[in-house]
Structure 1
Amino acid sequence: MKRPSWQSWLCIALLGCTCAHAQQPGSRALPPVSVKALGNPVEKSYRKMMEGALLFERMHAHAPQAPLRFKLLPRKPGTNMQDVDLEVIGRTFSYAVDVAPDRTFALARDPKALAEDAVVSPNRRQLSMTWRTDIRSPGVPDGMRRLGDLRLECLVGIESGLVSNSNAFTEMVSNLFRSPTGYCGRKDAKYLFFAERAIFSVTLVSADRREVLAMNRLYAEASDDPGLKADLPFCDCEVMLDRTYYLPLGDTDWPDDTLVQFDYMEDAPLAAQPPAQPFVPLGSTRQEVAAALGAANVITFDSGWEVWLYRGAATNASQTPPQERVVLFDASGLVRKVRVRA
């Protein structure tokens, strides 16, 4: 029997974000029909989001200078993320929520919305979108995130209870993660984060210490899941697979000020990461790499780019076998980047 992969349940259940830093909304007494008419809207509980906001205030020490915002992301191919209309809808009122060009927004605490058990509802169908917290401290360099911000994103996300799938099995397993501090405090927490663009590698940097994340922490653990294609419909990473990563959130050896550095697929290689002597020449074809290195564990993305992974094989008999060798092919089938993780 195939072992259920974590994509089938974990990456869907651990979603969410909230915010309590926004202008006070002006309500209007309208029946809540504008979004519900779509059928199966992507709506979330306002009450749960406010519970997440309270947790944000209690755990703000992880990111003391950061505000709390909410972010909308695509989940299904072809989802239009432009001009999303977002509303808070109660029994006797509804009002619009401003969505910024980066698709983030904030929510104010509204006693009436709490009393009426309101929902936060965009004009998109169920499962077409997903949600995340967006917590960003000022002063973080471009192409990086701060680990404390991401720790807090996980905590608030779980507390907000924003599950993005209706699969019965995923809903059952998600009940295991009712404690955000318990889950996000694990070193092996598999809360999916999304980078801004497709990533080739992710590196933790703290003072003089650097560590490149292993491949099984990228791409929704695709390197270890031969059944990924079947799992993707149950994961909110379906159209963002090449942007996903997760972190050792509970590893206190990495302080909150640790920087998370991204090497994006289409950018030039980061100077500190590629080997001094690439084990395959840049510009090589897939056929040439296969002839030199043999069969690989291949991850193919919708963009046409591919990542080939080799584990536990040395480039020659005199070398200590590296743990991982990774080759990136662009859409034309040529080697764009390589890296070694020892």
Structure 2
Amino acid sequence: MPTVEVPANGLFFLRLFKPMAWTCLAASACLNAAAQDKTGGNLPTVTISAKANPDPVEKSYRKMIRGMDLFEQERGLHSPDASLRFKLLPRRPDTDMQRIEMEVVGTTVDFVVPIAPDQTFTLARSQQAYDENAQVSPNRRAQSMTWRSEIKTPGLPPYTRRLGDLRMECRVGMEAGLISNRSNIVGRMVKALLDTPAYCDRQAPLYLFFADRPLFSVTLVAGQRREILPIDMLYAAASDDPKLKDELPYCDCEVLVDRTYVLPLGDRSWPDDTRVEFEYMEDE
């Protein structure tokens, strides 16, 4: 039989329900025996199978649909020309990001979610899956990947993003419950994990964005105004603090820390059309 680990505070419940468990087992045995007597033979064997991945890195379909709804409601305010996709990202060095298979799995509904070569995807709307609180389940283990929304306005210059799109990414990501931290990166991240999309309206929310490649610098540009982000807004603030480096395994930025940045999303002196310009390490 497989070994089952029970936390110390769970022993009370085992002791409490042990008599009930024996009663249920005895009743089940009696019912099976009666059924066999009635039919005059053994009942056919029933095999209960489970998916090959017993510990998937899955998300709530219902929450992700709510994130899509939020995008449709607010896109006119921040990202009128943008489109929404979701993106899978590695959080372990050995995570295989190729040939990922993903399904929406509910009580009675089950359908495949196609994933593009860049690890992005969209979700088909299904009222049945929503009502059943289905899970969006890739064939990867928990803590092996993280999730983000990806909202992009077409036609931008290379190596740039639009601040309004990134504001929407934060709001949709919070509404959809996409952050995949096993624990908070530091005490400052607790509120980000538990709060609503309103968290993104703070002056400098600790919502982690990921660039395409390792970063050298990030610059905000609005008209004639230019401002380079300080170093503590890059690399998950772990560049100079050994204590933060020790907590990186708890952060969904663990293997992407050199691509990580945060933005002054709630600072409205930077309009939505502000360009976020990236300079990459390899450019030097």
- Change beyond 3 A, Cα 1:33–1:56: farther
> Would the aligned equivalents of 2:185 and 2:250 in 1 still touch at CA under 8 Å?
no
Query: Counterpart of 1:198?
Result: 214
Q: What letter is aligned with 1:119? A: Q
Q: Which of the numbers 50, 55, 59 marks the counterpart of 1:40?
A: 55
- How far did residue 174 of structure 1 move? 4.6
Q: Which of the numbers 63, 72, 93 marks the counterpart of 2:109?
A: 93
Query: Aligned to 1:211, what secondary structure does the other structure show?
Result: strand
> Per-residue displacement from partner, 1:296-321 (whole Å, max 9, x unpaired)?
xxxxxxxxxxxxxxxxxxxxxxxxxx
> Would the aligned equivalents of 2:173 and 2:179 in 1 still touch at CA under 8 Å?
no
Query: Counterpart of 1:139?
Result: 155
- How far did residue 224 of structure 1 move? 4.5
Counterpart CA distance in 1 for 2:184 and 2:261 is 25
Query: Counterpart of 1:234?
Result: 250
Query: Counterpart of 1:130?
Result: 146
Q: What letter is aligned with 1:180? A: P
Query: Counterpart of 1:306?
Result: none
Whether 1:52 aligns to 2:67 is: yes
Counterpart CA distance in 2 for 1:83 and 1:169 is 29
Query: Aligned to 1:266, what secondary structure does the other structure show?
Result: helix
Counterpart CA distance in 2 for 1:85 and 1:55 is 26
Q: What letter is aligned with 2:263? A: L
> Would the aligned equivalents of 1:198 and 1:243 in 2 still touch at CA under 8 Å?
yes
- How is 1:220-299 mapped onto 2 (pairs within 5 angstroms)? 220-268=236-284
Whether 1:105 aligns to 2:106 is: no
- How far did residue 109 of structure 1 move? 1.7
Counterpart CA distance in 2 for 1:90 and 1:143 is 40
> Per-residue displacement from partner, 1:230-261 (whole Å, max 9, x unpaired)?
20111011000100000000010100010100
Structure with higher Rg: it is 2
Query: Counterpart of 2:22?
Result: none
Counterpart CA distance in 2 for 1:180 and 1:55 is 9
Which 10-residue stretch deviates more, 210-219 or 83-92?
83-92
Counterpart CA distance in 2 for 1:250 and 1:265 is 28
Counterpart CA distance in 2 for 1:51 and 1:264 is 34
Query: Aligned to 2:190, what secondary structure does the other structure show?
Result: helix
Q: What letter is aligned with 1:50? A: I
- Change beyond 3 A, Cα 1:176–1:80: closer
- How is 1:23-34 mapped onto 2 (pairs within 5 angstroms)? none
Counterpart CA distance in 2 for 1:175 and 1:222 is 18
TM, length-normalised to structure 2? 0.78
Q: Could you say which structure has the higher helix fraction?
A: 2
- How far did residue 170 of structure 1 move? 8.1
> Would the aligned equivalents of 2:208 and 2:261 in 1 still touch at CA under 8 Å?
yes
Query: Aligned to 1:59, what secondary structure does the other structure show?
Result: helix
- Report the number of matched residues: 235
For structure 2, list consecutive stretches of 5 or more residues without a partner in the other structure: 1-47
- Change beyond 3 A, Cα 1:155–1:93: same
> Would the aligned equivalents of 1:218 and 1:246 in 2 still touch at CA under 8 Å?
yes
Q: What letter is aligned with 2:69? A: L
- How far did residue 40 of structure 1 move? 1.1
Q: Which of the numbers 54, 61, 74 marks the counterpart of 2:90?
A: 74
> Would the aligned equivalents of 1:42 and 1:129 in 2 still touch at CA under 8 Å?
yes
Query: Counterpart of 1:6?
Result: none
Counterpart CA distance in 2 for 1:234 and 1:247 is 21
User: What is the aligned-residue identity percentage?
Assistant: 58
> Per-residue displacement from partner, 1:170-218 (whole Å, max 9, x unpaired)?
899358742212x111111110000000000000011111000000000
Query: Counterpart of 2:165?
Result: 149
